[in-house]
Structure 1
Amino acid sequence: MPVKHYLKYPMRSLENLRITESIQSKKLVFEESSYDKFDTISIYFGFLVLASASMLCFREIKLSLNSSLEYFILTCSLIFSVYILYCKFTEKHLKEITFDIHKQEAKKRIIEYGRKNNYRITKVTDNLIFLNETADFYSLGKHYEQTTVIFFKDNAILYTLIKEGSRSNFPVLLSQHLTKRDFKKILHPEYIEPIKRTTYFNSFFHGL
């Protein structure tokens, strides 16, 4: 039988998270709430419309020196929309980082990394850790969190970042790349110094 756990936040939930199935499929396997399903559909619809509108507007603009600003704005809008859709589509997909150290040492280093960076650490099983950090930058005083879900295998971690929000669970955009960089450093056999994420980057990326 699959191992099931329940993790619930004010606006985002991972209900009946199946650890074994998630590791095997390299994708979060859990029961989505109706809010999460509606939220996903809304984000897909909104940014598909924005991407489509940007492409249609390209046809209406006549190529000239005076239209360079319009082209720039539409290009940025299209790229941003596609990137949002990509991040949302891959949100549940687990990224893999292999390592050459012992599994328990890897787990110890990640827990220490979480403590030094003021994460709220939730240790569920020997094969799973949650690193929770505040995502209050845009939430008007309410408490919301961004969570790094980390699964442990014998010689690798599988992880992803999810975020809750005041109106929609907007996908994590750029901080996932910083997290990947940090994990690769702390899981390196010759790692010594702790990685300290700056407050500026945390606030900036949570606001996206």
Structure 2
Amino acid sequence: MIYFDPYKSKTTGLEYYLIFILSVFGIYSIYKKATEKNLTEIVGSADITYNKELLMKYCAKRGFDLYRDSKKLIIYNSNHTFGFGSDNNTSRIIFFDKDKLLVTVIKDGFRANPPILFSDTLFKREIKNLFKITGSS
């Protein structure tokens, strides 16, 4: 455990903070990779077609590429040229079930599958806010 010690040398100790921060980041990365396929439930309106239309407008505005569109499933991809491989895709997978949406975000790369660290949380929060705003109007 890292704690404040007023008698320690000023030249040492930085490595302990660095190790602590890297350890927390590593544990968070492992957690995100282990739970990336879990679906998050978001409550939408009672109509599946309205939910799909609203989500398709949102994803088109954000610049996501439509990969698959079926009756109860939509997959949007966005390509990244940076990262671990030369071709990294971030897939946003949305299942529709009556008044609910089941959402997950998965990154798929050519050489490695790094975890999604923050963009999945932001995407899910934006979708929740989108349906909260349109549901209250």
TM superposition score category, shorter chain reference: 0.7 to 0.9
- Deviations 1:18-42 (CA, angstroms, capped at 9, x unpaired): xxxxxxxxxxxxxxxxxxxxxxxxx
**Residue 161, structure 1, aligned to residue 100, structure 2:** no
CA contact (8 A) 1:87 1:172 kept: yes
**Residue 175, structure 1, aligned to residue 131, structure 2:** no
Q: Secondary structure of the residue that 2:117 maps to in structure 1? A: coil
Q: Which residue type is aligned with residue 120 of structure 1?
A: D
Aligned to 2:59: 114
The separation in 2 between residues aligned to 1:181 and 1:156, in whole angstroms, is: 15
Q: Secondary structure of the residue that 1:164 maps to in structure 2? A: strand
Deviation at 1:124, TM superposition (A): 3.5
Q: Which runs of 5+ in 1 are unaligned?
A: 1-54, 192-208
Deviation at 1:147, TM superposition (A): 0.3
Indicate the structure whose relative CO is greater, using CA pairs within 8 Å and at least 6 residues apart: 2
CA contact (8 A) 2:40 2:103 kept: yes
The separation in 1 between residues aligned to 2:28 and 2:84, in whole angstroms, is: 22
Aligned to 1:4: none
Q: Secondary structure of the residue that 2:82 maps to in structure 1? A: helix
Q: 1:113 to 1:143 in 2, by over 3 A?
A: same
Q: Which residue type is aligned with residue 121 of structure 2?
A: H
CA contact (8 A) 2:103 2:124 kept: no
- Deviations 1:43-85 (CA, angstroms, capped at 9, x unpaired): xxxxxxxxxxxx9xx8xxxx93534312210111110110011
**Residue 134, structure 1, aligned to residue 79, structure 2:** yes
The separation in 2 between residues aligned to 1:190 and 1:160, in whole angstroms, is: 21
The separation in 2 between residues aligned to 1:163 and 1:101, in whole angstroms, is: 30
**Residue 77, structure 1, aligned to residue 22, structure 2:** yes
**Residue 186, structure 1, aligned to residue 137, structure 2:** no
CA contact (8 A) 2:94 2:103 kept: yes
The separation in 2 between residues aligned to 1:110 and 1:91, in whole angstroms, is: 21
Q: Which residue type is aligned with residue 74 of structure 2?
A: I
Q: How many matched pairs?
A: 131
Cα RMSD for the two superposed structures? 2.4
The separation in 2 between residues aligned to 1:68 and 1:136, in whole angstroms, is: 38
Aligned to 1:51: none
Deviation at 1:189, TM superposition (A): 4.7
Aligned to 2:36: 91
Q: Secondary structure of the residue that 1:138 maps to in structure 2? A: coil
Aligned to 1:202: none
Which stretch shows the higher mean deviation, 83-92 or 101-110?
A: 101-110
Q: Secondary structure of the residue that 1:172 maps to in structure 2? A: coil
The percent identity for this pair of structures is 29
